[in-house]
Amino acid sequence: MDLQLKDKSVIVTGAGSNIGRAITLGFAREGAKITLADIDAKQADAVATQARAIGAPSTEVVRCDVTQLDQVQAMFKRAVERHGTVDVLVNNVGWDQLMFFAQTTPELWQKIIQINFVGMLNCTHTALGIMASKNSGAIVSISSDASRQGEPREAVYGGMKAGINSFMKTIAKENGRNGIRCNVVCPGVTIPEDDEEVGANSMWVNKDTMFTAEQLAAIAKALPLKKVGRPRDIANAVVFLASDAVAGHVTGQVLSVSGGYSMVG
């Protein structure tokens, strides 16, 4: 099926590792022009090379800390200069440190809030100005099923992801009149295929601090599909929601891609 994403200008934040990497390569296979925004430019460069090899006609790597509005605005400016506009924004950047809330500190709260929520605000606000001027666009934000279930050791992270869910619904209602669709994808536990998919700043760089092999096996056993997620599972959902050809009447939706961990009616 032709998703009609060929030559569309796509920005993916956190494009260098794990889910962001898979999303970037998913758009590359559709022939999109991609701006890879990541704080780890070296890791993003490697992904950009792969993206060009499998079909992206143009890629641009921009080192960008999404918590800094001036850097976000400069990154969007680069995307427009190279690719003419921005058709799709994927708010993928996310980070957490698994700890029970009583063990956390205000400094950790602020880091989680800035990376997971404020960065998304900065990118979405900047994208809307570009998309509204041409009466079209798609924004897909990566949340988490921790936002829907409440997950131990992810209190602040889950709270910020729940905020994304609500925020994106409001943005969808405010901007539908401008032809802009806004949706959310909620992964469950999603593990990299191999170590090469993970950059130095990824929360998965020390994967043993995330989940032990025994814990991952227990998680998989508890899920209806009996397997944990892989980055390509999330990428497939994102590419679908970004496509006007197949999801042109879908907006304001929160889609769990988690092997059945969350089933929201």
Residues known to be catalytic: 157
71, 49 contact by CB (below 8 A): no
Alpha-carbon distance of 241 to 142, in angstroms, equals: 12
Could you give the angle at which helices 41-54 and 18-29 cross, rounded to 10 degrees?
30
Instruction: Look up tokens 């601090």; give the residue.
Output: 209
Pairing of strands 33-38, 180-187: unpaired
Alpha-carbon distance of 233 to 101, in angstroms, equals: 30
How is residue 161 written in tokens? 């992801």
Alpha-carbon distance of 98 to 214, in angstroms, equals: 17
Could you give the angle at which helices 18-29 and 231-242 cross, rounded to 10 degrees?
50
The identity of residue 123, as a single letter, is C
Alpha-carbon distance of 14 to 63, in angstroms, equals: 10
The identity of residue 93, as a single letter, is V
C-alpha to C-alpha distances, 224 to 212, 228, 232, 259, nearest whole angstrom: 21, 10, 19, 6
Alpha-carbon distance of 240 to 233, in angstroms, equals: 11
Name the phi and psi angles at 242, rounded to 5: -75, -15
